[in-house]
Amino acid sequence: MEEHAVFDEVRDPDERPRERLWRTGTDALGDDELLGMVLGTGVKHRPVRKIAAELLSSAGGVGGLSRASPRELAQVAGVGTARAARVTAAFELGRRAVDAIHHRETVGRAEDVYRCVAPRVAGLAQEVFIVIGVDIRNGLLDIVEVARGSVAGVEVHPREVFRPLVRMAAAGGVLVHNHPSGDATPSAEDVELTRRLREVGRLIGIPIIDHVVIGDRSYRSIAEWMGTEF
């Protein structure tokens, strides 16, 4: 079966859905255009946008399409098993993404942070510095190691701390590092670093919520350690 490039009926390359997506984002595209990008190609005498429109029409819109089985999708002319599988997989990924967002683990307390990070640093002979991004409700977005040092310490630069927080569009950040000695008591250097990073966070609009030091089966919150100064 002869296949044709995505939306090859659009003569101006800049107006093709893929180029418009890069230029203006997904909001600028219609349902048929987004679906056409998932389908990938049309077939002879049936451009991909026409196939996408017929798929949407046969299912009664995006909602119905998301519930259709691969076998039902494959019955539409020009779809077939491979394209039906792609559409089904795309909707399943969307469902899983929504489920992950709605069931994010909360890291609003130091003990939550310890539970999430302690397994990652247990038994390490060197200090590692980790950043946790959270949403507006302290829901966990991601955990990123940004630096690794020696048994005596770890050097970290503000740009390495805030780059992943900006990337994940975090509403706030939690800092974490371990003490290989097993003593979770924050050092003077830990407290000073926390102050500097909190100031940077204030300047760029991503507040640092806490800095948790992890020891041997123990942890300390620098926010609690500093009290009203935090």
Q: Is the pLDDT of residue 10 over 70?
A: no
Q: Any idea what the CATH number is for the domain that residue 79 is in?
A: 1.10.150
- Please indicate, yes or no, whether residues 50 and 145 belong to a single structural domain of this protein: no
Q: What is the DSSP string of 84-129?
A: HHHHHHHHHHHHHHHHHHHTPPB--SHHHHHHHHHHHHTT-SS-EE
- Please indicate, yes or no, whether residues 139 and 212 belong to a single structural domain of this protein: yes
Of 72, 102, 132, the position where a domain reaches its end is 102
52: Cα separation from own chain's centroid: 28
Q: Which two tokens stand for residue 76?
A: 């539409």
**Structural domains of the chain, count:** 2
Q: What is the pLDDT of residue 216?
A: 92
Q: Give pLDDT tens digits for 95-146.
A: 888 777 666 788 989 999 999 999 999 889 999 999 999 999 999 999 999 9
Strand-pair partners of 134:
140, 172
- Please indicate, yes or no, whether residues 82 and 8 belong to a single structural domain of this protein: yes
- Please indicate, yes or no, whether residues 71 and 37 belong to a single structural domain of this protein: yes
- Please indicate, yes or no, whether residues 185 and 145 belong to a single structural domain of this protein: yes
Q: Give pLDDT tens digits for 163-199.
A: 999 999 999 999 999 999 999 999 999 999 999 999 9
- Please indicate, yes or no, whether residues 120 and 176 belong to a single structural domain of this protein: yes
Distance CA 6, CA 101 (A): 31
Segment 152-157 mean pLDDT: 89
- Please indicate, yes or no, whether residues 34 and 120 belong to a single structural domain of this protein: no
Of 102, 125, 153, the position where a domain reaches its end is 102
Q: What is the pLDDT of residue 66?
A: 85
Of 200, 178, 188, nearest in space to 226 by CA:
188
- Please indicate, yes or no, whether residues 158 and 211 belong to a single structural domain of this protein: yes
- Please indicate, yes or no, whether residues 120 and 220 belong to a single structural domain of this protein: yes
- Please indicate, yes or no, whether residues 52 and 125 belong to a single structural domain of this protein: no
Of 47, 79, 102, the position where a domain reaches its end is 102
In which domain, by residue range, is 129 found? 110-229
Average pLDDT, the chain: 87
- Please indicate, yes or no, whether residues 28 and 137 belong to a single structural domain of this protein: no
- Please indicate, yes or no, whether residues 90 and 163 belong to a single structural domain of this protein: no
Q: 0.85 cut: is pTM over it?
A: no
